Structure 1
Amino acid sequence: MKFTKKRIVATIALLALMVLTACNNEKEIKESSAEEPVQQEAVTIENEGVTTVYEQAPTKAISLNQHVTEIMLALGLEDSMVGTAFLDNEIYAPLQEAYEQVPVLAEGYPSKEQVISAEADFLYGGWASAFNEKNIATRDELETLGINSYLQSSSVKVAPTLEDVQQDITNIAKIFRVEERGQQLINEMNQEIEAIQVKIPEAEKPLEVLVFDSGETDIFTATQNFMNTLVTMAGAHNIFGDIEDNWATVSKEDTVDRAPDAIVIIDYGSTTAEEKIAFLKDDPALSQLPAVKNEHFVILPLSAASEGVRVAEALEILVKGLYPEAY
């Protein structure tokens, strides 16, 4: 067959037209898929009296307290976040790189205006204080603004268990459609906890422990919150664990009567752990406690002791501090 110059030019033109058409079709498909989100199966979550149906995973989330920020980052959700807030301590080191990818909206809670400006579609609160008219807005008001919310159940219930913390992690993983990551995180947590607990020495009587948060005239202490759970997991006994509340203010006299063997200092805020220890040593009544006389103090960062992903880290700090002979 003879290929004339005219026929060759026509063939080349036809091939060019076919390539151009294919490219345009591919572009249209990509643009169409970008405009239309992939349909996901709806997820219904019951959370502290609020039922929410998530048709799609949130894409513009804001975390409002450090321990829930760390849950989101541990689940690899930094790309689904438009903001974070309220650090108690430095961010958990393995999550620092992911944390730096998320805008910090405020040192404390962000304002309602900041939340709206960020076009948030989901707020994740660690403490009940996150959702009230003074701090941001109530959950009902957020709903009217088209913003879903989740409150860490294990942080607000009395006597939370490890399973309660893990249920919160599971719920967040479901909401963001990363269930496998959630289960992997829980499995790793359980393995680390088991490895630490085998190091706890056997004792006829558990150590009596005071959890010291703050206070000068009276003492603000952990009662039946997750810190009580951690102390129990460490094989010790919280001296105020019989009070049915998360936190309580107790008298110095009652503290002296219960004679703790060790004191866990909760480290956060403007008053340093060293300043809290100095106060205990200088106080006429508290300086007579066996724990103070023997200088048996354990410093536990609030961010590690909260209901988040650092349970194993918190437990290890307690076990090392309570039983230095085990290490």
Structure 2
Amino acid sequence: MKTFKSVWLVLAILMVSILTACGNEEKQDSASQSEQVEPAKAEATKVTIENNGTTQVYTEAPKKAISLNQHVTEIMLALGLEDSMVGTAYLDDAIYPPLQAAYEKVPVLAEEYPTKEQVIDSGADFLFAGWKSGFSEKGVGTPEELEALGIHTYLHTSSSITNPKLEDIFADIRNIAKIFRVEERGEKLIEQMTKEVEDIRTKLPQNKDNLRVLVFDSGEKEVFTAAQNFMNELVTVAGGKNIFDDVKSGWATVSKEDVVERNPKVIVVIDYGSTTAQEKINFLKNDPALKETEAVLNGRFVVLPLSAASEGVRAAEAIQILAKGFYPESFQ
């Protein structure tokens, strides 16, 4: 009888040992799988963006962003990122009205570009510039200098290339949405902008020669005008033809004689700065050469705010302002 009990005791001990070993193996397998999943998960959340000659790698969405120009500030706000911002700068004119409430939640760091010290004091981890000057010696600093401080940078590509199109703005919006992990918001914004533009285009007259258009920024002895920059795209989509679209630059200085020879039917006056749009119009009406153009003789002026003329979320609004000015009979 003792032998029988001893056999069962040995068997019981063996069973416990086997079960314990199996449990340990399962834990080890589980831990091993966990170790494999975590790096894969981290890799999946990593975002890599090629921008302005740099490779920017984001392991998480920025939490303390600063926008350095108005049109990119408005892109950030249109994507609902005000809570991820610690500052804005360089306001050209009034903020886009639908974004005013969001704008008021973000500190304004400077009238123009903030200093590097201001940026560091804010704890910023991301800078979004609308123009190349933002990341120059006269701006906040170079991308390399800022990267050394642990600050990511993004230069608005559509504002930095020749002859940008609406699709180039959409590419920038997608990049920012990807960096901040709000891709769905980005697509909705693009969809909304696309629909608004298409609604305007359906109202434009068909089978008509496009109106000859001069974009007047400034100038007294010569004329500073749009050539192959975003204004060219806006004018074209609105049913006009920029009379200096053949000049191979963004903005260009041309002679008054060239303007008179090309004889615009409409003049788009860019409104910004200390010289008002009406003062610019008065100059055009009184200039001995320019007052002889068809546009001035017929009083065909369209005023467009600089902030709407930039590569931002106001593109549809800018196109509507231009289209109504070009073809008022189609928008009554």
Q: Does TM, scored on the shorter chain, surpass 0.5?
A: yes
Q: Tell me the residue number matched to 1:316.
A: 320
- Indicate the SS of the match to 1:192: helix
Show the counterpart of 2:167: 163
Alignment of 1:178-327 (within 5 A): 178-327=182-331
SS at match of 1:202: coil
Distance 1:131 1:220 in 2: 25
Ranges in structure 2 where 5+ consecutive residues have no aligned partner? 1-40
1:57-90: per-residue Cα shift (whole Å, max 9, x none)? 1110000111000000000000000000111111
CA deviations 1:290-312 (Å, max 9, x no partner) are 10111100001111111111111
- What is the letter of the counterpart of residue 236 of structure 2? T
Figure out how many residues of one structure are paired with residues of the other and give that number. 290
2:67 corresponds to 1:63: yes
1:50, 1:165 → 2: CA distance? Answer: 19
SS of structure 1 residue aligned to 2:45: coil
Is 1:73 paired with 2:77? yes
**Amino acid corresponding to residue 193 of structure 1 in structure 2:** V
Please identify, of 39-48 and 53-62, the stretch whose mean Cα deviation from structure 2 is larger.
39-48
**Code of the aligned partner of 1:169:** I
> Which protein is bigger by CA-based radius of gyration?
2
Q: Does the 8 Å CA contact 2:225/2:253 hold for their aligned counterparts? A: yes
Q: What TM-score, normalized to structure 2?
A: 0.86
Cα distance between partner residues in 1 of 2:115 and 2:281: 35
CA root-mean-square deviation: 1.1
| Pair 1:54-2:84 in alignment | no
Where do 4+ consecutive residues of structure 1 move more than 2 Å? none
Q: How high is the TM-score relative to the length of structure 1?
A: 0.87
Q: Which amino acid aligns with 2:163?
A: A
Q: Describe the SS at the equivalent of 1:62.
A: strand
Q: For residue 83 of structure 1, give the secondary structure of its aligned residue in structure 2.
A: strand
Note the C-alpha offset of 1:48.
2.3
Q: What amino acid sits opposite 1:252 in the alignment?
A: K
Displacement, 1:249? 0.7
Q: Is the 8 A contact 2:269 2:301 kept in 1?
A: yes
Q: Deviations over 1:183-216 (max 9, x none)?
A: 0000011111111111111243110000011111
Percent of matched pairs sharing the same residue: 66
Do the aligned residues in 1 keep the contact of 2:239 with 2:326 (CA within 8 Å)?
no
Aligned with residue 177 of structure 1, among 175, 181, 184: 181
